[in-house]
Structure 1
Amino acid sequence: MSDPSHPSDPLLPVDGGSPAYEPGRRRRKRRSLPGCLAVLVALAIVAGGLWFGVTRGVSWIEDQFADPEDFAGPGRGKVSFEVSDGDSSAQICRNLKASGVVASVQACIDAAAADPDSPGIQVGFYPLKKEMASEEAIGVLVDPANIITNAVTIPEGYNVDQVVEVLADRTDFNASDFERVLDQPDRIGLPDYADGNPEGYLFPSTYSFGPNAKPLDMITAMVDRWRQAADDAGLEEAAERLGYTPHELMTVASLVEAEGRGEDMPKVARVIYNRVENPDNGITNGLLQVDAAVNYALGKEPIARLTTDEIDSVADSPYNTYKQPGLPPGPIEAPGDAAIEAATTPADGPWLFYVTVDLGTGETKFTDSYDEFLSFRDELDEYCATQSDRC
């Protein structure tokens, strides 16, 4: 039997309070919400990281194997694009991308690599558009006919005023724009011996000026071209050899340009040197008697015959070679390559006179005899009497 003073019923608490456990009733556990939320956040971060990594990986794979970005073309608007000296295909493509012409450098490089003519892309400005297909942009650049140029031809024998007139006529600038540049000779590259006077140093040639060329660029290009011709002819070395200054040789070259033609040019140069170097020959008295120089003093176009009144009207001019002995103070017009070459390498001969007896063919006769010279003048007179439209 059990002892009533020491109950052992498991349903009753030892201290007589409420039962510790009731049949049919489960104990409820307390939930920890902050812990669950942390797990969910961690899972979300992991999932997001996986998504970002997969997305970046897919993008990287696409970048490696997909075609580079390119515009469909044909483009819009206008772009004046410059290819500079020394530009590689890659540099051209970078510049095209920066100008908004192509969508990507790589697509452009691929298009250039596919075009066999791309290594021959020439320096210059080209008319392109914004948002062109790379193949089309390269197609424009490989054709030199597409180069934007303003071709200006300066003929041999033009003086500064005539050069300015041509430039003003063939470009978008006024004569005054060029005259302002010519008034600043230090900026255009004239040699020191030109003494600031551009006459004779604006070389006659055909120039291709880009769309961004300014009057300073154009005039400087002409002086640079003169420098090339002078170096090719050895102007400064020849001047030292012949006993003249380079400026004096340029003056002789300008007289030769005005008076001579073709193979006669070195002989005309020799006549000039013979007269300058032998002023006491008893015939010419040191006078060159070059009509073209007097015409320069008169401000007139060259003509075949001068009147006594015309010569006397500019008697005090240093360019009047009928009145003033020796060379005039400077060139009277721009000589070309042949005239400069003639001045630096004159022909050998005793001649003191020359007369162009046929202005149509340019036939010119040379002599050191005054009497023979007069007979040549008679031939010219007869020619003028029958061909008055040329005299």
Structure 2
Amino acid sequence: MSATTGRAFGGSGPGSAGPSRDRYVAHPDAETDRHYAAAWRVPAPEPAPADPPAPAEAEPDADAGWLLGDDEPRSGGDALTEALPQGRPPRRRRWLWPAVAAVLVLALVGGVFFTRDLWPILFPPDYDGPGTGRVVVEVSDGSSTRAIGEELVAADVVASARAFGDAAEEDPNGRGIQPGFYELRRQMSAAGAVTALLDPATRVGRLDIRSGTQLDDTAGNGTEVVPGVLSLISRATCTVDGSGAERCASVEELRAAMADTDPAELGVPSWALDGVRRAEPARRLEGLLAPGPYDLAPGTGAREALAAVVRASVPRLEAGGLVREAEAAGMAPYDALILGSLAEREGVPADFAKVTRVIVNRLAVPMRLQFDSTVNYPLDRQTLLTSPYDRARPGPYNTYLNLGLTPTPIGAVSPQALQAALEPEPGPWVYFVKCQTDGISCFAVTPAEHDANRRLAQERGVY
């Protein structure tokens, strides 16, 4: 048989089961195949079905061996084929280490965030103890608790605004802190700072001008001395220096600043400038400092302190329509201020409008006012009683001798007295005298009526 056309068959020797299709090898010559198939009586082979395309060989996975527990990673697809169910693609695990690293990074960042941002919120730092030294802190008008806390942190009074806020919330009066200046200690506990801010004794730079108060101190009942506006301002400027000595703008320095500084530079409004410049320099700001509370920074100089009080006072004086209503009534606003100050010193609030009517009616006659309060004003006395000698003493404020109004107001003017000056009660009265123990006056038109009211006052022990 030829080497090129021969066929290998299964033998018929021992162990052979005879001709076998399984051992039949197809010859490239189809005709020869049919010949041999017929000779051996073996049916011609049917064309074999086409094999399905082999799946793409899986890329070797370096982690496969580790996942299967081998000491060394297995290579190729055989290892995965052995471990995973047949027909399912191998699951990739390359994301595992990056995911673990990301979790660790997030945990680290979260820990830093908690320590830096959340820890102070949950456990705000706080000083322990009453603190040391002195520091003045200002609480501005309208400041929130948080804003106050931040000011205290900036001055190193408390360790954190959050600790101060928590302490203020825990104190029943913690929201009652008033605007102003306070002398505190450095590095106080938050609770101690709240307590100090609620204690009036720690408040500094505060002055409160009462209605009728003069610039100068006045003699009250007996040996009593009533502090004047200049003394109140002086006290408010006091501070303690590093050596423990107290420093204040003295009354003498304040009076000198008032006399030597142009009124406009001190904040005197335009409607009062002419009257103020004509007045005696040592009294020129009388009446322009309205009643009420004021706050001055401790350590403020004399000129700055005067200017601060004047500028804060003017809006209070003008709030009731002083300029507008005075001009509508044909009166200078400064004259209305003088008129109100006279009513303030001569009567009680219930009589202010009647007293101003008496003044207006006397000025129209013209008739001297004859007020004891104006005689006592330059004598720095509170009493309304005068002696014949006092009434005979010449001076610009002696209304027993002079016609018209005084050169300046004679004290601080309340809103009620100022309103009475702008709207006097209608009436023909030209006389009045205090006739009741509560300060109420009896008003009269004729001298005879006035004499009767005086006798009534004497009977009641008032006059």
State the TM-score, normalizing by the size of structure 2.
0.58
State the partner residue of 1:243.
330
User: Are the aligned partners of 2:276 and 2:408 in contact in 1 as well (CA < 8 Å)?
Assistant: no
**Cα distance change on mapping 1:81 and 1:158 into 2, 3 Å:** closer
Correspondence list, 1:197-236, <5 A = 197-207=284-294, 209=296, 211-212=298-299, 214-216=301-303, 218-220=305-307, 222-224=309-311, 226-236=313-323
CA distance in 2 between partners of 1:106 and 1:84 (Å): 19
Tell me what 1:177 maps to.
Answer: 253
Q: What are the within-5 Å matches in structure 2 for residues 228-377 of structure 1?
A: 228-279=315-366, 286-296=367-377, 300-307=381-388, 309-314=389-394, 317-358=395-436, 360-377=437-454
Alignment of 1:97 with 2:138, yes or no, is no
Q: Distance in 2 between matches of 1:154 and 1:214?
A: 19
Distance 1:271-1:212 versus aligned 2 partners, 3 A rule = same
Counterparts of 2:252 and 2:320, CA distance in 1: 33
Distance 1:319 1:65 in 2: 69
Q: Structure 1's 247 and 131: CA in aligned 2 closer, same or farther, altered over 3 A? A: closer
Can you give the 5+ residue segments of structure 2 that lack an aligned partner in the other structure? 1-104, 218-227, 239-247, 278-283
Distance 1:364 1:166 in 2: 32
Cα shift at 1:351:
0.9
- How far 1:215 moved relative to its partner? 4.3
Distance 1:335 1:61 in 2: 60
CA distance in 2, matches of 1:305, 1:238: 35
* Contact 1:203–1:226, Cα closer than 8 Å, also in 2: yes
The verdict on how the C-alpha distance between 1:107 and 1:274 changes in structure 2, with shifts beyond 3 A counting, is closer
Amino acid at match of 1:96: L
For 1:353 and 1:129, the matched residues in 2 are separated by 59
**Aligned partner (choices 53, 74, 77) of residue 129 of structure 2:** 74
> Whole-Å Cα distance in 1 between the matches of residues 256 and 168 of structure 2?
44
Residue 282 of structure 1 is matched in structure 2 by none
Q: 1:86 to 1:170 in 2, by over 3 A?
A: closer
1:4-153 equivalences under 5 Å are 60=112, 63-64=115-116, 67-68=119-120, 70-74=125-129, 76-78=131-133, 79-103=135-159, 121-133=177-189, 135-136=190-191, 139-140=194-195, 143=198, 148-149=203-204, 151-153=206-208
Please state if 1:167 is matched with 2:248. Answer: no
Q: Partner residue of 2:12?
A: none
Q: Which amino acid aligns with 1:188?
A: L
| 8 A contact 2:164–2:191 mirrored in 1 | no
Q: Tell me which amino acid in the other structure corresponds to 1:247.
A: Y
Distance (whole Å) between structure 1 residues aligned to residue 427 and residue 444 of structure 2: 9
Q: Alpha-carbon deviations, 1:310-336, whole Å to 9, x = none?
A: 33331xx33332332222222122222
Indicate how the Cα distance of structure 1 residues 349 and 58 shifts in structure 2: closer, same or farther if over 3 A, else same: closer
Change (3 A) 1:106 1:378: closer
Counterpart in 1 of 2:5? none
Change in CA separation of 1:297 and 1:105 when aligned onto 2, cut-off 3 Å: closer
| Distance change >3 Å, CA 374–CA 214, structure 1 → 2 | same
Give the residue type in structure 2 aligned to 1:60: V
Which deviations, in whole Å up to 9, do the C-alpha atoms of 1:253-284 show, x marking residues without a partner? 111112112311111100111111233xxxxx
How far apart are the structure 1 equivalents of 2:404 and 2:393?
Answer: 19
Q: 2: distance between equivalents of 1:246 and 1:265? A: 18
The whole-number CA distance in structure 2 between the counterparts of 1:140 and 1:348 is 53
Unaligned runs of 5+ in 1: 1-52, 280-285
Matched AA of 1:264: D
Equivalent in the alignment of 1:18: none
Give the structure 2 partner of residue 50 of structure 1. none
- C-alpha separation in 2, matches of 1:129 and 1:300: 42
CA contact (8 A) 2:374 2:397 kept: yes
Question: Residue 114 and residue 333 in structure 1: after superposition, are their counterparts in 2 closer, same or farther (change >3 A)?
Answer: closer
In the alignment, the residues of structure 1 paired with residue 393 and residue 411 of structure 2 have an alpha-carbon distance, to the nearest angstrom, of 21
Aligned with 1:82: secondary structure? Answer: strand
Distance 1:341 1:141 in 2: 39
State the number of aligned residues.
323
Corresponding residue of 1:37? none
Q: TM-score, length-normalised on structure 1? A: 0.67
Greater relative contact order structure (CA < 8 Å, 6+ sep): 1
- What is the RMSD computed on CA atoms of the aligned residues? 3.9
Structure number with bigger Rg: 2
CA contact (8 A) 1:122 1:144 kept: no
Residues 144 and 329 of structure 1: CA distance in aligned 2, closer, same or farther (over 3 Å): same
CA offset at residue 178 of structure 1?
Answer: 2.0
1:101, 1:137 within 8 Å by CA — same for their partners in 2? no
% identity of equivalent residues: 30
Q: Which has the higher helix share?
A: 1
User: 1:10 matched to which residue of 2?
Assistant: none
Distance 1:60 1:217 in 2: 50
